[in-house]
């Protein structure tokens, strides 16, 4: 799995915010607010005023097309809600498609389009309806506003995706996510041109799809929470109408507890078994030596091949710890008799049997890295959680693959970290032919720590940065500009139905009751805006009592994965401390005042709200820590403002306060401002050295001193 975030990662992300990329030929001459960034943009100057509704004429190969008409209607509705003035002149849009494209979206479909915004009308051209739908999403992001009102910048756009597989995995197995969650996230996916919904449907904690050939699977393995086949057909149709493929995952042979609850005879050790409520790697694994295993899989996978029209079926294949196989003498004898070598060889044997079953239904298997062993069928696709090097190795062996490593949005890493991960990094040793085996990647929303109320906030808006990485040219890597556009596209995602913004008040009500007019609610909002859930897998270490049945309504669930307020503060600190030639003392004074405000908010939450509201009591260490950290940072910034090095005693007190503020706490949250506050404390202690150091040496010196005081997790 991806490494946990450290202070060094914070410094790398900070450096990335200042890094730009060389403009490509035909690049835009003024910034657009579009995400993903188009392949080619030329802003020609001038504007098309926006004062009314969209008036669209659309044809696919000279005829009306129901899918295109529906896309136009959705776009017009969103346009009207944000921009429309009933009495204004309409914006004229002409859409020309060469063909309707495939009724069921395909990996090979042409998704390109061109968009011409002229002085009197907009012309959108595309080879297929899918390309036209992408162009409509770009058009919806183009309007800008100034003192003269809304307008479209006159521009010429030529656009096509870098990769054909741009996915989002949603795990509905560990914690159930009903149909409405999936549908609204499909709408959000379309906004940023993601085109694959990977549904993780079975795992140790739940079997989430109806089987008519073996109804006992969902009857005993789901607690009654699963998609009926009618619901799944509705999801597939909804996705297809938005140009999105649905790829199901049935995790086998490991992560199989929910299978063997109803069929213990198919496990590699005797049962009985019950649904797992905790998280982790568990021993139950299907028995590849039992022909009854393949009989059931043949029935089930044949049924699913009919239900799911996509070419690909994900079989998981990860994290089989081998305990049951190694402990079963009959299985080990089977390995010897068949010359399979070891458990890995048995896994390859199993994959071959499953691949043959799916091939009869016209399907190709996708699996995690662990399925890649000698003898794996050449048509298999590797979904790599291990990283771009493992993906490249698969490509060198002739296997198609997609990247998931670096895109695990459940780990709460910042958008910049996801943004700079690349399926084919610059400088890759892959030949052009080998690189074509890399189909793209997918954001992964694993389900241990998300429920229907919080999942949108964990996916969006950070996944828009991943969508840009998978769509836009490789050279589009300006993290600062990505963030500029990320918070704008966040509002567009909200317009499309995502609940990442609207559910923030819902989570606050879980903490203080229904009344959000209580005294101190402003301080609570400030506090929540400055904390983040802990990164990586630390929440499970800090909240060992959590399980599938415990509701997600705590402080960590109300916090956002990435604090916008803290990130903007970090940028301001960077400008104040590391400007050319000197520290900006006036800016230091403004930053000190901001920290004083945040200190007051922390003190109010700790002193007034935490004692009054039981659900907030777990926030007490964090609120006290915020007050301590902000007081230390403000003191250091006052020294920076005065140009006077902080004295040794005050420095020791500041560092002790920061160490206290950084201690792990039961709420499984961390203060998002700790990195920049450490920088200002370090700068205050070293500022006497600033006049004799180059800009680069000063930055490096302060960063090293700050990193030395950061705890390691």
Instruction: State the catalytic residues.
Output: 319
**Six-digit token string for 519:** 């005294």
Q: What tokens were used for 383?
A: 């979904």
- Residue 408, strand partner residues: 444
Structural element, H or E, at residue 512: helix 503-512
The pairing of beta strand 149-159 with beta strand 113-117: antiparallel
- Structure tokens of 388? 């771009």
Tell me the two tokens of residue 247. 């790829």
Cis peptide leading into residue 253 (ω within 30°): yes
Q: What gap in Å lies between CA 93 and CA 57, rounded to an integer? A: 6
The DSSP result for 181-200, as a single string, is HHHHHHHHHHHTT--EEEEE
What CA–CA distances, in Å, run from 173 to 207, 209, 247, 315, 518? 6, 10, 15, 14, 38
Which of these, 345, 353, 332, 411, lies nearest to 374 by C-alpha position? 345
Beta strands in 328-458 (DSSP E): 364-368, 381-384, 400-403, 438-445
Using CA of residue 569, residue 555, residue 508, residue 451, what is the dihedral sign?
A: positive
Q: How many other C-beta atoms lie within 10 A of the C-beta of residue 378?
A: 8
Residue 650: burial class (beta carbons within 10 Å; 0-12, 13-18, 19+): middle
Helices and strands (H and E) in the chain: how many: 28, 18
d(CA 214, CA 692): 76
**Is-contact 556 510, C-beta < 8 A?**
no
β-pairing verdict for 206-207 and 196-203: antiparallel
Strand, helix or coil at 341?
Answer: coil
Taking the C-alpha atoms of residue 631 and residue 360, their distance in angstroms, rounded to an integer, is 67
Question: Of 191, 246, 236, whose CA–CA distance to 467 is shortest?
Answer: 191
Helix extents (H) in 560-615: 564-577, 585-604, 610-612
CA-to-CA dists, residue 419 to 246, 485, 636, angstroms: 24, 13, 33
Cα atoms in the 13 Å half-sphere on the side-chain side of 230: 0
Of 104, 105, 185, 101, which is closest to residue 113 (Cα–Cα)? 101
Which residue is it, tokens 């395909």?
Answer: 106
Six-digit token pair at 173?
A: 């197995």
Block residue for tokens 């091949």: 305
User: Whose structure tokens read 């998609």?
Assistant: 227
Inter-CA distances, 594 with 650, 654, 704, Å: 20, 17, 25
């Amino acid at each position: 799995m991806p490494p946990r975030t450290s202070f060094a990662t914070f410094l790398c992300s900070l450096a990335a915010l200042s890094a730009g990329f060389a403009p490509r030929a035909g690049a835009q001459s003024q910034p657009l607010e579009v995400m993903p960034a188009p392949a080619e943009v030329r802003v020609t100057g001038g504007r098309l005023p926006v004062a009314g509704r969209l008036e669209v004429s659309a044809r696919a190969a000279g005829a009306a097309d129901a899918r295109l008409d529906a896309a136009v209607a959705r776009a017009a509705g969103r346009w009207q809600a944000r921009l429309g003035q009933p009495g204004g002149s309409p914006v004229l849009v002409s859409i020309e498609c060469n063909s309707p494209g495939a009724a069921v979206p395909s990996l090979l479909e042409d998704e390109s389009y061109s968009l011409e915004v002229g002085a009197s009308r907009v012309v959108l051209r595309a080879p297929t309806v899918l390309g036209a739908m992408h162009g409509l999403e770009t058009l919806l992001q183009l309007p800008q506003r100034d003192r003269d009102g809304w307008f479209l910048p006159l521009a010429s756009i030529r656009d096509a995706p870098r990769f054909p597989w741009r996915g989002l995995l949603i795990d509905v197995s560990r914690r159930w996510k009903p149909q409405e969650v999936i549908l609204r996230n499909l709408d959000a996916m379309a906004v940023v041109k993601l085109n694959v919904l990977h549904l993780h449907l079975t795992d140790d904690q739940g079997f989430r799809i109806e089987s008519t050939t073996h109804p006992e699977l969902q009857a005993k393995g789901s607690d009654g929470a699963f998609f009926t086949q009618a619901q799944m057909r509705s999801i597939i149709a909804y996705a297809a109408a938005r140009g999105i493929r649905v790829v199901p995952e049935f995790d086998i042979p490991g992560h199989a507890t929910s299978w063997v609850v109803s069929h213990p005879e198919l496990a590699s050790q005797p049962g009985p078994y019950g649904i797992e409520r905790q998280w982790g790697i568990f021993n139950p694994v299907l028995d590849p030596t039992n022909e009854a295993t393949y009989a059931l899989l043949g029935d089930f996978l044949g049924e699913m091949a009919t239900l799911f029209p996509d070419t690909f079926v994900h079989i998981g294949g990860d994290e089989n710890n081998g305990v049951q196989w190694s402990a079963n003498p009959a299985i080990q004898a089977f390995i010897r008799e068949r010359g399979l070598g070891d458990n890995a060889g048995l896994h390859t044997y199993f994959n071959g049997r499953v691949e043959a079953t799916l091939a009869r239904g016209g399907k190709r298997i996708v699996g995690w890295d662990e399925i890649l062993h000698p003898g794996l069928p050449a048509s298999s696709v590797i979904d790599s959680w291990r990283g771009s090097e493992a993906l490249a190795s698969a490509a060198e062996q002739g296997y198609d693959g997609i990247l998931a490593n670096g895109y695990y949005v459940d780990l709460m890493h910042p958008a910049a970290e996801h943004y700079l991960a690349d399926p084919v990094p610059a400088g890759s040793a892959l030949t052009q032919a080998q690189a074509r085996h890399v189909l793209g990647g997918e954001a992964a929303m694993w389900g241990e720590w998300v429920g229907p109320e919080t999942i949108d906030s964990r996916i969006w808006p950070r996944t828009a940065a991943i969508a840009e990485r998978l769509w836009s040219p490789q050279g589009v890597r300006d993290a600062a500009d990505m963030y500029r556009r990320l918070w704008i596209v966040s509002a567009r995602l909200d317009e499309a139905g995502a609940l990442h913004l609207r559910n923030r008040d819902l989570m606050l009500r879980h903490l203080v009751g229904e009344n959000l007019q209580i005294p101190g609610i402003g301080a609570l909002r400030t506090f929540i805006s400055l904390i983040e859930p802990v990164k990586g897998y630390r929440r499970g270490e800090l909240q060992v009592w959590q399980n599938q049945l415990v509701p997600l309504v705590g402080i960590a669930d109300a916090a956002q994965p990435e604090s916008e307020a803290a990130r903007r503060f970090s940028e301001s600190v960077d400008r104040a401390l590391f400007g050319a030639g000197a520290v900006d003392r006036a800016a230091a004074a403004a930053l000190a005042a901001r920290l004083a405000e945040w200190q007051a908010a922390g003190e109010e939450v700790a002193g007034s709200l935490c004692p009054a509201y039981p659900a907030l009591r777990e926030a007490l260490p964090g609120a006290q820590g915020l007050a301590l950290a902000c007081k230390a940072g403000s003191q250091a910034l006052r020294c920076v403002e005065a140009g006077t090095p902080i004295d040794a005693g005050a420095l020791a007190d500041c560092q002790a306060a920061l160490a206290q503020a950084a201690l792990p706490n039961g709420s499984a949250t961390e203060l998002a401002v700790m990195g920049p506050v450490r920088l200002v404390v370090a700068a205050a202690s070293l500022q006497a050295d600033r006049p004799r150091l180059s800009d680069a040496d000063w930055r490096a010196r302060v960063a090293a001193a700050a990193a030395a005081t950061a705890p390691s997790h």
